[in-house]
Copies of this chain bind each other. A is one copy, B any other.
């Protein structure tokens, strides 16, 4: 496994992959591809402090690509001025060990100064409900930072396939829209939210949770279950009834402060007027000093994606 720490070195390595037949030093998984074709490159962008949610993405990507790159970069432009950039958890040695065990070929770990040198002024700016609603309303500028760093990584690493967790449902929608709007030659692949055995969605930010609020943090999952039950059993109550069920659940947990509970279209993020598929149940709440998000997705075919629980 190669660890690349500068944009310049990553660009040079990527260029070497397009030379016909030059797959080494990176390992190739898919030997069936014809030798004269360029290798298929996969990217799993992360902010590090990896958990099983990331690793499930990495394993899926490993199986689907010739050369697999994972990036680790705590992107400053997606944090607000009062958010947790400075204290965001980091453990690079552990991350590298985990990625090596998954068979990753290249880990890209640039510095903020390399990604945003003096004079940097060009952002990717998604607009409309997709970035003004839900997370976009709570975190102004967040999706501009996300879209910008993802486009930059896409240009540097030029993957055919890029992998994102369904836990960040709005991020998935923003990037899917960016790929379409800007004609990027990339397939977005998602993987279900991974959950602890009590239902808490895995997140690097769970490391912030003190023991007293850790137990209470399952309230997001409980609220989604309550919303789902209302959606299925009491469709006449409409989106307001589903939202009410989620709100009531959070109200029953004094250590949780609800940010939002919503039912939205998973592509446009417009609110639903009636309960139909596809739909996205979204929730954000603060426990102690830690803000957590979670979601359930009702697919267009009527099946639910509620995540996978750790064995």
Contact = CB atoms under 8 A, between A and B. Distances in A.
B177 A119 contact: yes
Interface of A: 7, 11, 20, 36, 119-128, 130-131, 144, 147, 151-152, 155-156, 177-178, 181-185, 268
Contact of A177 (B11, B121, B185): B121
Nearest to A14: B185
Contact of A182 (B11, B122, B127, B177): B122
Nearest to A183: B155
6 contacts: A20-B20, A122-B125, A122-B182, A124-B124, A124-B182, A125-B125
A188 to B, nearest CB: 14
A11 B151 contact: no
Main secondary structure of the interface of A (DSSP, over half): mixed
Contacts of A128: 121
Interface centre among A20, A121, A182, A268 (most CB of B within 10 A): A121
Interface centre among A122, A127, A152, A156 (most CB of B within 10 A): A122
Contact of A122 (B36, B120, B126, B268): B126
A155 B36 contact: no
Nearest to A153: B183
A153 to B, nearest CB: 9
A128 B122 CA distance: 9
A20 B7 contact: no
B126 A185 contact: no
B155 A122 contact: no
Contacts of A130: 121
Contacts of A123: 124-127
A147 B127 contact: no
Contact of A181 (B20, B36, B120): B120
A124 B125 contact: yes
A122 B155 CA distance: 16
